[in-house]
Amino acid sequence: MGYIWVALSAALFAGFDIGAHLTFVIGYDFPLGKGYHSFIQTHGHLQLVGWAGLFIIGISLHFIPRLAGIPVSQPRWIHRILWLMGVGLLLRSVGHVVLPYITRSTLFVLFGGMVVGSGLIEWSGIFAYLFLLSKTLYGVKGIDQRPALTSVKPYFSMMLVGWLFYASLNLILLIQMVLSKGSMISPAWNEFSIQIFVGLVLLPVAFAFSIRTFPLYFRLAPIDWPVRRVAYAYLFAFCLQTAPAFPPLSDLIPQASFYLSQIGMLLKGGVILWFVWKLDILTRFREPWTGQRTLQPASDRRPTRPGMPDYGEFGRFERPVYAAYVWLVVGAFFEILLGIATLWGRPVSIGNDVIRHLYLLGFITHLIFGMSVRMIPGFIKKKRVACTQLVDFTFWLGTVATICRIFPLLLPSAIFGAVPASVWVAKTAFAFSGIIGWLAVLCLAGNLWKTASS
Ligand code: HEM
């Protein structure tokens, strides 16, 4: 649970706050200030590693050993890793936002050291986590008897490689930034490292958890399709999209890199849509796995919610999960559209930032909203969440935050010309998106806290 509390604290006390500050400043045209770029990079790092990353570490350390059927080899390390990650994130959030204001002062050495230290401490924590998890993942004897683990292993392997790649790149880029007396990581490298984290860590792990838990939690069809092959197809498309964006390569052959990347993006969008289709979470066309079981529950058993295996004790947790998958589909669809339009020679104006937040705020954050209230009570031996209404609040606030964060950036400028009031509405929606997102996380945190202490 420590990971969950630190993830929520990182989101509530830093990640979402900086996001809210940024959208307010951008939305209402306030001066961006010296710290603008370092604020963006700090927000990005805290949200990726602090908010989404710590949730993943915490849940995977609980879930993967159970899937593998062997305990974590060094349980003492679980707390140590949390400490390393917590201290690393704290140093980064304080150090990086101060740097732009002290570039000419002697204090730069102190705060620069803090930022580099944060990279080193996080790297150590991530390395220890990967070591611990690989021993579990690759130490299973008689793997053939564990088909549940075998099928999702490629997804977890992508995650391990992604974490190591991201943590190492983060450390090197921070050292380079401080040595050059700057306060901003080189934009091309920064973009590349974010792509690695989102594409190799967050999406694969979200897919793996969905494959393993959804049939049970949502009473879906059994997973009888080639899950591993979809993972390889995804990896191929991801590499095609991201490898050409490797800065030395894109500097060398910019045109070819750009077009290869677009083809990769198009394919990746296609694989994601295929994955969602096969998972059947939004369509629910296939017969649930319960239709094939030989022993049916007794007729006098209390009925569960329609189509679901629970009695409503976790609230309507399916809503944020459905929303997550809707946002994922929109993100994948936009990637396909963008890829086709660019290759066709008619680029459309959908920014990187829109697609990124569709995946991160729309998909990953909503998946956390839904799955945490469904899974965490069980982890801490509780039978229900403390307040089912708060699950609804989290869902609605999260949805409004995502709409406000994304839609104003998609509106064609002709609308602003035709309806002048729409400028104000769009700016205000964008400005408040961060605060609304923050409130959604607050509802989740309050609910989990009450659940744990009840
Ligand atoms: C309502 C909540 C959020 C708000 C208001 C928000 C706001 C912002 C803003 C204004 C930017 C700068 C965009 C630009 O470059 O023009 C940004 C970038 C970014 N955000 Fe968010 N964001 C939110 C949620 C999230 C979440 C949940 C994640 C991850 C899980 C995330 C990850 C990122 C990343 C990786 C970047 C790019 C950072 C960089 O360029 O170094 N954001 N966000």
pLDDT digits (tens, 9 = 90+) for 337-351: 999 999 888 888 888
> For position 450, what pLDDT does the model report?
95
Place 291 in a pLDDT band, splitting at 50, 70 and 90: low
Which residue matches tokens 């459905």?
322
- Min mean pLDDT across 258-272, 291-305, 309-323 is at 291-305
pLDDT over threshold 70, residue 170: yes
pLDDT over threshold 90, residue 3: yes
Domain limits, the chain: 1-200, 230-271, 311-454
> For position 65, what pLDDT does the model report?
85
pLDDT over threshold 90, residue 304: no
CA neighbor of 183 nearest in space, from 81, 42, 295: 42
Give yes or no for residue 394 CB within 6 A of ligand 1: no
Distance CA 95, CA 138 (A): 37
212 Cβ neighbours under 8 A, 6+ residues apart: 63, 67, 148, 152
> For position 142, what pLDDT does the model report?
66
CA neighbor of 182 nearest in space, from 37, 281, 385: 37
430 C-beta neighbours (distance < 10 Å), count: 20
CA neighbor of 41 nearest in space, from 146, 164, 193: 193
Give yes or no for residue 96 CB within 6 A of ligand 1: no
The residue whose CA is least distant from atom 7 of ligand 1 is 19
Give yes or no for residue 398 CB within 6 A of ligand 1: no
* Whether 21 contacts 36, CB under 8 Å: no
> For position 144, what pLDDT does the model report?
63
pLDDT digits (tens, 9 = 90+) for 21-37: 999 999 999 988 888 99
pLDDT over threshold 90, residue 334: yes
The residue whose CA is least distant from atom 24 of ligand 1 is 361
> For position 151, what pLDDT does the model report?
85
- φ and ψ at residue 300, rounded to 5 degrees: -90, 5
> For position 295, what pLDDT does the model report?
66
* Whether 151 contacts 226, CB under 8 Å: no
Average pLDDT over the chain, rounded to whole?
Answer: 92
Ligand 1 midpoint to CA 43 (Å): 6
- Which one is predicted more confidently, 405 or 351? 405
Give yes or no for residue 269 CB within 6 A of ligand 1: no
pLDDT digits (tens, 9 = 90+) for 217-261: 998 888 888 999 999 999 999 999 999 989 998 888 888 989 999
> For position 417, what pLDDT does the model report?
82
> For position 47, what pLDDT does the model report?
97
The one-letter code for the residue type at 82 is L
Ligand 1 midpoint to CA 426 (Å): 18
- Min mean pLDDT across 61-65, 270-274, 318-322 is at 61-65
> In Å, how far are 145, 217, 221, 312, 318 from 392, measured between CA atoms?
40, 18, 26, 12, 10
Give yes or no for residue 441 CB within 6 A of ligand 1: no
> In Å, how far are 84, 128, 244, 332, 379 from 74, measured between CA atoms?
16, 10, 39, 39, 19
* Whether 267 contacts 236, CB under 8 Å: yes
- Min mean pLDDT across 12-16, 352-356, 417-421 is at 417-421
What's the mean pLDDT in 420-431? 92
- Which one is predicted more confidently, 81 or 284? 81
pLDDT digits (tens, 9 = 90+) for 369-384: 999 999 999 988 899 9
> For position 413, what pLDDT does the model report?
84
pLDDT digits (tens, 9 = 90+) for 76-89: 899 999 999 999 99
Atom of ligand 1 nearest to the CA of 434: 5
